[in-house]
Every structure is written in C-alpha cells, then in structure tokens.
Amino acid sequence: MAFTPRVFSGIKPSGDLHLGNYLGAIRRFVPLQQTHETIYCVVDMHAITVWQDPEDLRRWTYEIAAAYIAAGLDPNKSIIFNQSQVVEHAELAWIFNCVARVGWMTRMTQFKDKAGAEGGENSEAVSLGLFAYPSLMAADILLYKATGVPVGDDQRQHLELTRDIAKKFNHDFKKQIKGLGVKDDFFPLTETLSTGPAMRVMSLKDGKKKMSKSDASDMSTIYMMDDADTIAKKIKRATTDADALPTEAAGLAGRAEAENLVAIYAALSDTSVDGVLAEFGGSGWGKFKPALAELAVAVLSPIATEMKRLVADTGEMDQILRRNADRARAIAVPVMDDVRKIVGFVR
Ligand code: AQP
C-alpha cells in the first residue's frame, strides 16, 4: 500500500531547549515542510515519565511550540500541537503496550541510562511510564501513519522498536486488516530521515556524553535562550585537547571534543566536516572557538528573540495549539476507528 509521505517528530517539554535539540531535530524539521505533510508535536505526555513541576511543564510546552515557529515552521502548514490534546495517542499506546514485548523494552539503552540516573542502583523505583515510553512514541508516529521521522541519533533504537511494533501489529491482525479492505500493511515501516553532521551533539565538558536538557552542569549545554555573552563564555570554556585542528576528518578520530565542536560548526553553517577543516585545518582553538561562538550567536539569537516574543502571548499560543490539535485529530480519529475495529473492540 502506498502511504502518504508524512513526517512526524516531537520534543519533550522536560527542560530548556538546547543546541542538541536544535541541530538534531528542529533545524532538520524546517525543510521537510516543502516536501511532506509535517506534524511536529510537543510531547508533554512523554515529559511526565519523570517528575515535572506542573508550572515548568506548561512553560516549556509553550517554549517548544514557540521554538518550532521561531525556527521557521509555519503553523498554518505544519501541524504544531501538544500531544495531550489528542487523546488518541494514549489509546493507541495502550494497544501497543499489548503488542510490544517486555524483552524489547528492557533492551532500550535510553531506559537503562535514565533508570540508572533516576533510580540510582534501584531501577525498579522509576515510573512504569518511563519503561513503556517507546510504546507511546510508536503510537505518536503510527497514529498518523507517518512514513518518516527526523530525530537525532539517540532516538534511532526507539525508531527500530516502532518498526517492530508496526510489523507485529500488521502480522498479528493480518486477517482483520484484509477484512477492512486494506490490501497490504495497515501501518507503514517508518524510516529515520536524518543525515549529516551533529546528529548527536555532545556535552561541551565531556565529548563522550550527549548534550541533554537534564545535565546538571550549565556549562556543558548551550541553551537556545542563552544570551550572546553566555554562549561565547561556554564555547571558550569548552573542554578541548591541546592540538591544532587537522586538515581532514580522519584526523579527528579519538578526539571526541574536537570532533563535536567541528560538527557543530558544520551543522550551523550548513557545510560538511571536511568543508570546515578546509577552512580551519592547522588552526588552534584560539582562532576556532571565537569563530564558532560568533556563528552560534548569529544563528541562535534571532530565534531566541522571536521565541521570547511568542511566549509572551500565551493566548495566541493557546489558539495555535488548539487549532492544530484539531487538524491532528482529523487524521488520527479515522485511523483509531480502524484500529478499534481491527482489534475487535465493540462500539
Ligand atoms: N544531544 C543531542 N544531539 C542531537 N539531537 C538531540 N536530541 C536531543 N538531544 C540531542 C534530539 O532532540 C529531539 C527531542 O528530544 P527529546 O527532548 O524528546 O528527548 P531527549 O532525546 O531525551 O532529549 P534530552 O535533551 O536528552 O532530554 P532529557 O534530558 O529530558 O532526557 C530528538 O529528536 C532527539 O534525538
């Protein structure tokens, strides 16, 4: 069956947005508006898998929606809404909880990392929602029969699990799906769309750890709302080695921090790592870091200014989110009607 080329992606309102969210996700969302139907969600139900102060949750929800728009997404074109306004996400997630296997979930590295961080030695102390998170993520994507998902590298494993859930559902309910008049698969096998540099932006203080909203150290992370001085200070103090930059990408092997900063420069300037090294190869950090700071400020500052303007008018933001949740529901409701028939729920 030919599925409509449709893109879905989302970000959790679980902290201040950072450069990793921007380069790994938001920046990649924008051009897809020209080629696909695009649905970009603020996944508030994912955020509460770990404790969130309700006031912070609300503020971050507005901030992410504002960041989408400030970065160039058009809310009259892309469907921009918060997940909890379309209840079908939760309903499909429950059905997928009954399709997915416990063994699949226990293999998720993000769960192991987060359970370790949240529960210390005792990973059983974390919420059941954190364990089932990938089922909800599969529901987010498949509720819209999305064919492509732009996400950072850290989410690849969850995307594979989404495909496994789709495959099992298509297989287990083959007869009922045929009964509905659908010739092939009911759910598509969704592809990861992202390529290019900075698929995984690393901490400024440790090149082996990803940049993350929940990092305890402020100096590891460039936030989208940071002012110019703060961005420059964080880049200046970023951990590096003492060597000059190499002239080719191969020379970055084993230099995680240097590799990270060069990839950030490449992504922010829409060039390749080799392109950056053609310009800066042989230079020391005294030349490269100020150039990177200037570039980061030039890209991020106008977005931060527009985000601040948008979040100041929550009435307007509410309207945008509500209107777009209605557009999302127009796709989700018929899919969910079919799913209920397929699994045998009486209505
Ligand atoms: N460091 C990163 N590099 C590249 N992409 C990243 N993303 C997140 N961190 C990086 C991408 O941003 C999108 C939204 O992610 P999310 O907020 O839903 O969840 P996350 O990946 O768990 O993000 P954080 O910042 O690490 O949040 P916390 O600390 O709350 O768990 C995804 O596309 C992700 O790939």
pLDDT band at 119 (very low <50, low <70, confident <90, very high): low
Compute the radius of gyration of the chain from its Cα atoms: 21
What is the rounded CA–CA span in Å between residue 43 and residue 137? 9
Q: Is the pLDDT of residue 120 over 70?
A: no
Q: What would the pLDDT profile of 204-258 be if each residue is shown by its tens digit?
A: 999 999 999 878 788 999 999 999 999 999 999 999 999 999 999 999 999 999 9
Specify whether the CB–CB gap between 266 and 273 falls below 8 A. Answer: yes
How far does residue 254's CA lie from ligand 1's centre (Å)?
Answer: 24
Q: Is the pLDDT of residue 66 over 70?
A: yes
Q: Among 25, 125, 147, 46, which Cα is nearest to 93's?
A: 46
Q: Among 242, 251, 244, 249, which Cα is nearest to 263's?
A: 249
Mean pLDDT of 139-168: 94
What is the rounded CA–CA span in Å between residue 277 and residue 292? 13
pLDDT band at 110 (very low <50, low <70, confident <90, very high): confident
The residue assigned the tokens 């240097």 is 258
Which pLDDT score is estimated for 216?
A: 77
Domains and their CATH numbers in the chain: 6-199+314-343 (3.40.50.620), 218-309 (1.10.240.10)
Choose between 94 and 114: higher pLDDT. Answer: 94
What is the rounded CA–CA span in Å between residue 307 and residue 298? 15
Nearest CA to ligand 1 atom 15: 11
DSSP type of residue 99: T
Mean pLDDT of 69-97: 98
Ligand 1 binding pocket includes 118 (Cβ within 6 Å): no
How far does residue 233's CA lie from ligand 1's centre (Å)?
Answer: 23
What is the rounded CA–CA span in Å between residue 339 and residue 169? 10
Residue 120 token pair: 């210390």
Atom of ligand 1 nearest to the CA of 43: 18
Average pLDDT of the chain?
Answer: 94
Ligand 1 binding pocket includes 15 (Cβ within 6 Å): yes
The rounded percent of the chain whose pLDDT value lies above 90 is 87
Mean pLDDT of 114-137: 83
Ligand 1 binding pocket includes 212 (Cβ within 6 Å): yes
Ligand 1 binding pocket includes 83 (Cβ within 6 Å): no
Which pLDDT score is estimated for 125?
A: 84
How far does residue 173's CA lie from ligand 1's centre (Å)?
Answer: 33
Which pLDDT score is estimated for 1?
A: 60
Surface-to-core class of residue 170, CB atoms within 10 Å of its CB (0-12 exposed, 13-18 middle, 19+ buried): middle
pLDDT band at 115 (very low <50, low <70, confident <90, very high): confident
How far does residue 261's CA lie from ligand 1's centre (Å)?
Answer: 18
Mean pLDDT of 65-76: 98
Ligand 1 binding pocket includes 14 (Cβ within 6 Å): yes
Q: Which of 42, 154, 158 to mutate to test the pocket of ligand 1 (most atoms within 8 A of CB)?
A: 154
Ligand 1 binding pocket includes 11 (Cβ within 6 Å): yes
Q: What would the pLDDT profile of 247-301 be if each residue is shown by its tens digit?
A: 999 999 999 999 999 999 999 999 999 999 999 999 999 999 999 999 999 999 9
Q: What would the DSSP string read from start to end of 193-224? A: ---SS-SSPBPSS-TTSB--TT-S-GGG--BT
How far does residue 159's CA lie from ligand 1's centre (Å)?
Answer: 14
What is the rounded CA–CA span in Å between residue 324 and residue 68? 13
Surface-to-core class of residue 188, CB atoms within 10 Å of its CB (0-12 exposed, 13-18 middle, 19+ buried): buried
What is the rounded CA–CA span in Å between residue 98 and residue 92? 10
How far does residue 20's CA lie from ligand 1's centre (Å)?
Answer: 7
Q: Is the pLDDT of residue 135 over 90?
A: yes
Which pLDDT score is estimated for 121?
A: 58
Q: Which residues are tagged catalytic?
A: 114, 210, 213
Residue 181: its H or E element: none
Atom of ligand 1 nearest to the CA of 25: 33
Q: Which of 155, 190, 192, 268 to mutate to test the pocket of ligand 1 (most atoms within 8 A of CB)?
A: 155
